[in-house]
Amino acid sequence: MSARQFKISIGAAALLVATACGHAGQATTSTDNGSGDKQQPAKIRILSPAEGASVKVPFTLKFDPGVPIGPTDSGKDHVHVFVDGKTNEYTVVTKTSYQIKNLPAGKHTVGITLQHADHSPVGPKARISVTVTNGSAKKGGSDGSGKKGGANDGGGGYGY
């Protein structure tokens, strides 16, 4: 190999490394449907109530998860619903709507995240702000017991 060929080889190798490094940290959330066809990245959005809406409890949260969801034991993704940024007090939701109850009167933020069956995040999130006009005298879990929610008990901090 001549000195010129060696320099060209080194330059080509450096270009390949630089190109590969230029894409580091850029993750995609596209999924494979089993046929080898790549689907669009997962997106999640809240359909109702509208951003800034005034609501009375109980109210129904409707959303489009962007992918099929189901029970965690099915291997399908699911949604975590939480209120006021308390992501550790969530309810696992496996359908495209959920009734929220037991929120006190005032402004609240309702958030949803798309999760894998093992509860690891898929990535997409959505949230809305609502104003509860009637409120609930009950505190805590959906039965008013004060029990905190979590992945296995199906009850977030305010019965969501």
In this prediction, residue 154 has a pLDDT band, given cuts at 50, 70 and 90, of very low
What is the per-residue pLDDT across 54-112, written as a single tens digit (0 to 9) for each? 999 999 999 999 999 999 999 999 999 999 999 999 999 999 999 999 999 999 999 99
Instruction: Return the domain boundaries, the chain.
Output: 45-132
44 near 120, Cβ under 8 Å? Answer: no
Neighbours of 73 (CB within 10 A): 7
79 near 115, Cβ under 8 Å? Answer: yes
Give the Å distances, CA to CA, from 138 to 61, 101, 103, 156: 20, 9, 8, 13
Q: Which amino acid is residue 16, in one-letter code?
A: L
Kindly state the DSSP code that residue 142 receives in the 8-state scheme.
Answer: T
CATH superfamily, domain at 45-132: Immunoglobulins (2.60.40.10)
The pLDDT score that the predictor gives to residue 61 is 98
